[in-house]
């Protein structure tokens, strides 16, 4: 039988699943007892009457989650054991150990848990020829009641679960009879998320076999094609084949995950192919290491030092500052140090040891009316200060003129209102805006990006045509009027943009792929930028978390900094990397970055 935990608990206790009986805990535990007895009878039937001639094997498919302690205390570890006992051990212990329920269930449930006689225990014990395991989103996690977690934390570590089963249940041979994750019901054939989890689970299975000595002899993906899911209906998809539920004949086609799984089976795992091997090499001496963020934090709140008023501190009564009427201090000019937000962001960037920082200006704030009749000089001064401070600490600014965003596409309201990029007048408005930015920032900014990742999903041909013309006009404007005096570059950027460990993995492997392109393929790659600077401007994508008005360093930032600082040589320390990179600080290199200083 398949997943008796779900049948007993949600079929007869909670009633969430068929047959939908809401009989409470007592009925759920009675149903589980009958399920165990029924399984044992069928196993003995096969063992006595059919095995001698058919030579087959029989088991019961048990689903489980994995759980880890909220805090590493003895009590929390015991609660984790209890959580596994109440779900997997409920059926696994009687079958694989001694015919009886886990001690934690017997001591906590008292009279609710039916007892087995000694004869029944003996009859149930050993009625499985292998351990059939189900581990997936619905059966293992979504149908796990919160009280079954005992205030501990769920985890997707299949490897740890396999190791625990191996240790807890006398080293059985294990067949993973159901495993996968899910994607949104709107996902078509490009199911990258599903493929990521599929690869993750299969690799964890391989590690359990190779490193932990667990006897796993088979693996089965759920499922062949999209269909109706017990718990979520058609709102999710879990198949290797995409099913078009709207078509008359319900046509189905292979997804990316099906092709991946096909190749995996052909190769029987992950063989060390030459093209996938890490490379040892050297980046060019003047290679640029950077971070990219959509926007910088803008806070133009005046500094207290710009206030000409004189104050006295009332230390005896109100404990507040009291303004002295009729006395004013001499006014002074604004200075870049007046912006506290700039100092904080620069210090965070310094901490990463990058050489370049890529960010976008806000067109809609610099020119609120979309033309030069109203210019936000305070914001322009802020940007001037920001790039000056970058240069002061030897970080080269890479500045994008326009970054699309949800509100009005990042355009001034007047332009967005009258057709946005559908309107050819937006082209000339962009050119005038570009001229203003080149004039005010160009002496400090040497790398310009006209348009940063324009959306293409719903872009009309007219809008795309106008975007190209606007970019070309801005480039030619710079080339004719500013390049000779400012000595910089213009670039048009159109790149398509979970867990920090995953970010570390991708940073490490992307950089090695860049090195292969430079070393093996002779591609003239001159820089690499990590997305993104912090979670405040790009939630979940940053190298810094932003919590309670404070920035916290993520492990991925430290990893990226290590690559920069140690010439990419991460093999010598405790956090070994499978590749070695030598970059800017190579011995004998006299590197100079074009930063205008």
Per-residue model confidence (pLDDT) at position 140: 67
pLDDT band at 482; cut points 50, 70, 90: very high
Per-residue model confidence (pLDDT) at position 291: 94
> Hey, which residues does 2 pair with through a beta bridge?
61
* Gap between the Cα atoms of 596 and 301, Å rounded: 28
HSE-CB of 41 using CA atoms within 13 angstroms: 6
Q: What is the mean pLDDT of residues 105-112?
A: 90
Please report where in the chains the tokens 């670039």 appear, as a residue: 491
Per-residue model confidence (pLDDT) at position 272: 82
574 pLDDT above the threshold of 50: no
Structure tokens given for 500: 């920090």
* Closest alpha carbon to 581 in 324, 374, 281, 298: 281
Q: What is the mean pLDDT of the chain?
A: 88
> How many CB atoms are located within 10 Å of the residue 446 CB?
20
pLDDT band at 308; cut points 50, 70, 90: confident
Based on its alpha-carbon atoms, the radius of gyration of the chain, rounded to whole angstroms, reads: 32
Structure tokens given for 345: 């962001």
User: Residues of the chain with pLDDT > 90: what percent?
Assistant: 62
Scanning 482-550, the segments in alpha helix (DSSP H) are 483-486, 500-519
User: Residues of the chain with pLDDT > 70: what percent?
Assistant: 91
Q: Would you say 209 and 216 are in contact if contact means Cβ atoms under 8 Å apart?
A: yes
Cβ-count burial 234-257 (b if 16+ within 10 Å, e if not) = eebbbbbbbbeeeeeeeebeebbb
Q: Which letter does DSSP use for residue 288 in this model? A: E
Q: What is the pLDDT of residues 47-57, one digit of tens each?
A: 999 999 999 99
160 compared with 283, residue with greater pLDDT: 160
86 pLDDT above the threshold of 50: yes
Q: What is the mean pLDDT of residues 451-455?
A: 90
Q: What is the pLDDT of residues 373-386, one digit of tens each?
A: 999 999 999 999 99
Q: Would you say 203 and 179 are in contact if contact means Cβ atoms under 8 Å apart?
A: no
Q: Would you say 396 and 447 are in contact if contact means Cβ atoms under 8 Å apart?
A: yes
Q: What is the pLDDT of residues 29-42, one digit of tens each?
A: 999 999 999 999 99
Q: Which H or E element spans position 448?
A: strand 447-452
Per-residue model confidence (pLDDT) at position 163: 97
pLDDT band at 306; cut points 50, 70, 90: low
Which domains does the chain show, CATH number per domain? 4-269 (3.20.20.80), 288-303+334-493 (3.20.20.80), 504-525+532-582 (no CATH)
Per-residue model confidence (pLDDT) at position 593: 43
* Gap between the Cα atoms of 179 and 195, Å rounded: 12
Per-residue model confidence (pLDDT) at position 573: 41
């Amino acid at each position: 039988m398949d997943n008796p935990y779900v049948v007993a608990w949600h079929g007869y206790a909670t009633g969430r699943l068929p047959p939908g009986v809401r009989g409470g805990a007592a009925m759920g535990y009675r149903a589980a007892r009958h399920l165990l007895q029924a399984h044992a009878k069928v196993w003995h039937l096969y063992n006595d009457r059919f095995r001698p001639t058919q030579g087959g094997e029989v088991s019961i498919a048990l689903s489980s989650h994995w759980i880890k302690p909220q805090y590493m205390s003895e009590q929390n570890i015991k609660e984790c054991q209890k959580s596994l006992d109440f779900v997997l051990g409920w059926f696994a212990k009687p079958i694989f150990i001694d015919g009886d329920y886990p001690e934690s269930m017997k001591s906590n449930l008292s009279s609710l848990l039916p007892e087995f006689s000694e004869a029944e225990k003996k009859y149930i014990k050993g009625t499985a020829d292998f351990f059939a395991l189900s581990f997936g989103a619905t059966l293992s996690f979504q149908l796990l009641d919160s009280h079954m977690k005992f205030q501990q934390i769920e985890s997707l570590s299949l490897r740890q679960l396999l190791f625990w089963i191996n240790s807890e249940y006398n080293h059985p041979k294990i067949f993973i009879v159901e495993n996968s994750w899910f994607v949104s019901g709107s996902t078509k054939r490009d199911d990258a998320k599903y493929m990521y989890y599929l690869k993750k689970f299969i690799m964890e299975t391989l590690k359990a076999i190779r490193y932990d000595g667990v006897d796993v002899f088979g693996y089965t993906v759920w499922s062949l094609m999209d269909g109706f899911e017990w718990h979520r209906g058609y709102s999710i998809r879990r198949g290797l084949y995409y099913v078009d539920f709207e078509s008359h004949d319900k046509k189905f086609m292979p997804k990316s995950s099906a092709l991946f799984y096909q190749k995996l089976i052909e190769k029987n795992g992950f063989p060390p192919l030459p093209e996938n091997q890490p490379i040892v090499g050297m980046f060019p001496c003047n290679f640029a290491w950077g971070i990219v963020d959509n926007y910088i934090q803008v806070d133009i709140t005046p500094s207290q030092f710009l206030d000409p008023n004189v104050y006295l501190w009332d230390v005896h009564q109100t404990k507040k500052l009291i303004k002295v009427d009729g006395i004013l201090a001499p006014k002074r000019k604004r200075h870049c140090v007046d912006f506290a937000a700039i100092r904080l962001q620069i210090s965070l960037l310094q901490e990463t040891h990058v050489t370049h920082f890529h960010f976008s200006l806000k067109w809609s704030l610099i020119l609120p009316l979309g033309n030069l009749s109203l210019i936000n000089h305070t914001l322009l001064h802020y940007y001037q200060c920001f790039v000056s401070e970058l240069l002061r600490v030897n970080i080269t600014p890479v500045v994008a003129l326009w970054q699309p965003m949800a509100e009005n596409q990042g355009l001034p309201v007047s332009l967005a209102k009258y057709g946005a990029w559908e309107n050819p007048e937006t082209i000339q408005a962009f050119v005038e805006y570009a001229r203003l930015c080149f004039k005010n920032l160009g002496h400090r900014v040497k790398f310009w990006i006209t348009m940063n990742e324009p959306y293409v999903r719903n872009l009309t041909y007219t809008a795309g045509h106008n975007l190209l013309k606007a970019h070309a006009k801005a480039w030619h404007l710079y080339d004719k009027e500013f390049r000779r005096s400012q000595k910089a570059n213009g670039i048009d950027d159109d790149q398509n943009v979970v867990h920090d460990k995953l970010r570390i993995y991708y940073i490490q492997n992307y950089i090695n792929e860049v090195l292969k392109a430079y070393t093996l393929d002779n591609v003239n790659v001159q820089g690499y930028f990590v997305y993104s600077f912090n979670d405040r401007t790009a939630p979940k994508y940053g190298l810094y978390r932003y919590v309670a008005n404070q920035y916290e360093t993520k492990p991925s930032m430290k990893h990226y900094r290590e690559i920069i600082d140690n010439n990419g040589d991460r093999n010598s320390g405790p956090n070994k990397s499978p590749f070695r990179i030598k970059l800017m600080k190579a011995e004998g290199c006299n590197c100079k970055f074009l930063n205008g200083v």
